[in-house]
Amino acid sequence: MKRRYFGTDGIRGEAGREPLTPEFVLRLGKAAGRYLSQRAERPVVLIGKDTRESGDLLEAALAAGLLSQGVAVEHLGILPTPGVAFLTAELGADASVVISASHNPYQDNGIKFFGPGGTKLSDEAEAAIEELLEAELDTTRIATVRNHQEAERIYMDRLVRIGPRLDGLRVAMDTANGATYRVAPRVFQRLGAEVFAVFTTPDGRNINKGCGSTHPETLARIVREGGFDLGVAFDGDGDRVVLIDRKGREASGDHLLFINAVVREEPLVVGTIMSNLGLERALGERGIAFERTPVGDRYVYEALLRRGGRLGGEQSGHVLFLEHLPTGDGIQTALLTLAAVRDSGRPLEAWVDALPMYPQTLVNVPVSDKHRVMEHPELADWIARAEAMLGGGRINVRPSGTEPLVRIMAEGPEERAVHEAAAWLRERIEAAVE
């Protein structure tokens, strides 16, 4: 079902520009409110956000629209995205909304809906809300709003319950000046770790700026030079995490899946088209089935449900443990991975050594019309020719779900060939859209 505004992870864009203007977000709140009020007598929606300066503006507009349709609103304040998903189920809310653009810079923002139980809204539900955007929706009945004072504590208590004891562990932590800046250090400290946290002073504009899971270089240096046992880096909204071993090497989402799959003896792991070939082959050698989906945790979630699996995720560090939550939670992932590392009797660096990763590159090609590129009659031939350069690797080309980009992923046994193949394919795509 085709949707105009909703992408793979809600509605994203630059705050203050279409579609993320106050006027549009008010209409969106009305449409979502009408959708929910048609399905429940007195629906309740939770709203959480990250630390971007535009969060208050968008939250106010969205809440006004919901309230005008008889939907009660509970503000959770700054809270990681998975915390909002968890509280949706825990508090029995009809839906929830996260105002965040995850790992994107502060100028961007986004609106992501969760349904009952903390699962993402289906494509059909999002399409139904989009239809209501075009309707004239009068105020039906006015609902009330309140601030939920215990949201952060309830979420932290849950993480402490599922986490292992971390006594004696020296942890360097990067919270990306984002939604985990209060919660993550406190949870690790409550579990006994000695925590040295950086990038914990959000000012509305410094979220993800040279920090977090997409920029772990500073944290890696701190771990190496400070003699820490490991590093933990979250993204801006807290659903992703990467770990850093004692040597300053990154343990990506592929490593985290590998560690948990092997230690937990999982029969199946679900990854995406971006997951490294090294992960697929290492799991296969250990008799663990591996399935790929399109990029997006909702597709990983759907595949796990279909196959009866428990563990899946993305290379970015977005990992799902279905027995705990239907969405990725960076703090949870870090804690459960540390429990697996402890149970294995091997340090994190030994696990990084144990997973041979193929050289991989990701090239972003800015384009005015990404769909035109994907429908180009010669694209399939270009991809086949680029793959032939790799000698046993693979190429994937996909449109970004949130930005005007086409992403080229190339991986293979030889690093030089990988970069040459990606560059050759980029030239073809750029020439085609000039």
To the query of whether residue 102 is one of the catalytic residues in this protein, the response is yes
Which structure tokens are listed for 288?
């663990």
The token duo for 420 is: 């040459």
One-character DSSP codes across 57-107: HHHHHHHHHHHTTT-EEEEEEE--HHHHHHHHHHTT-SEEEEE--TTS-TT
Tokens (6 digits) for 342: 């402890």
Point out which residues pair with 264 in neighbouring strands.
none
Distance CA 140, CA 166 (A): 52
Name the phi and psi angles at 218, rounded to 5: -65, -45
Q: Quote the CA–CA distance of 88 and 84 in Å, as a whole number.
A: 6
User: How would you label 365-387 residue by residue, b for 16+ Cβ within 10 Å and e otherwise?
Assistant: bebeebeebeeeeebeebbeebb
Q: What do you get for the CA distance between the two ends of the chain, in Å? A: 30
* CB 180 within 8 Å of CB 329: no
Closest CA to 192 of 163, 221, 229, 228: 163
Q: Is 252 annotated as a binding residue?
A: no
φ and ψ at 353, to 5 degrees?
-65, -30
Residue 102, annotated as binding a ligand:
yes
Judge whether 123 is annotated as a binding position.
no
Catalytic residue among 37, 96, 102, 400: 102
Q: Which of 386, 329, 336, 347 shows the shortest CA–CA distance to 79? A: 329
235 marked as part of a ligand binding site = yes
User: Which candidate, 382, 300, 414, places its Cα nearest to that of 406?
Assistant: 382
Q: Are strands 268-272 and 311-313 parallel, antiparallel or unpaired?
A: parallel
Q: Report yes or no: 378 and 319 within 8 Å, Cβ to Cβ.
A: no
Q: Which amino acid is at 1?
A: M
Is the distance from CB of 2 to CB of 39 less than 8 angstroms? no
SS3 of residue 34 by DSSP: helix
CA 205 vs CA 14, 21, 256: distances in Å: 13, 18, 30
Binding residues: 102, 235, 237, 239
Active site residues: 102
Binding residues for Mg(2+): 102, 235, 237, 239
